[in-house]
Amino acid sequence: MTARIHIDRAARVLRAGGIVGYPTEAVFGLGCLPEQRDAISRLLEIKRRSARKGFVLIAAELQYLEQLIELPEEPMRREILATWPGPVTWVLPARARVPAWLTGGRATLAVRITSHPVARALCLRTDSALISTSANVTRRRPHTRLLQLRRDFGRQVDYVLAGELGDAARPTAIRDGVTGRLLRPG
């Protein structure tokens, strides 16, 4: 696993309003803290991404997401919680106070409790959920090699946290948290 000193440094960068590249279940991600609006604006510029798309947030524990989303009633709640921690992202109703810069102006928010050890450790060290978007320019393939990430984004992000990708062959599946419908296969 990535040395604690590197995770500590990445967490300091995030808390200072920076953007970090880091490994996830299948691809490298770019992220920042969800309350850091300036960092989010920079992240949108780096990816050439529309703010209307919203973001995926990852967390190490459900407690970091409960203030942002509303879990549905049973049996859907049980289905969602059975997939976490793990490589399934759920689109759930956002609480009223969640800002549009996270939701893309929708009434929902995409969230996941990650099982990736480095991403999880980073969430725990920042004591927060993190924005997690694939490390790529919009409409291009996500980066799966650290060297590629450093070459393409090393000067645009504030820190790159090295680590092995997870075992997933593709980015995580995305499911509708109300209906269970598959929105994007994993």
By the 8 A CB rule, do 32 and 126 touch?
A: no
What is the percent of the chain where pLDDT is above 70?
99
Superfamily of the domain at 4-184: DHBP synthase (3.90.870.10)
> Domain residue spans in the chain?
4-184
76-129 pLDDT tens trace:
999 999 999 999 999 999 999 999 999 999 999 999 999 999 999 999 999 999
Strand partners, 176: 91
60-70 pLDDT tens trace:
999 999 999 99
Q: What is the pTM of this model?
A: 0.93
Q: Above 90 in pLDDT, residue 34?
A: yes
**pLDDT band at residue 52 under the 50/70/90 scheme:** very high
By the 8 A CB rule, do 58 and 129 touch?
A: yes
Give Cα 130 to chain centroid, integer Å. 5
Cis, bond preceding 75 (omega within 30 deg of 0): yes
DSSP state of 75: T
What is the percent of the chain where pLDDT is above 90?
83
Cis, bond preceding 87 (omega within 30 deg of 0): no
Q: Above 60 in pLDDT, residue 1?
A: no
| Six-digit token string for 40 | 């989010």
173-186 pLDDT tens trace:
999 999 999 999 88
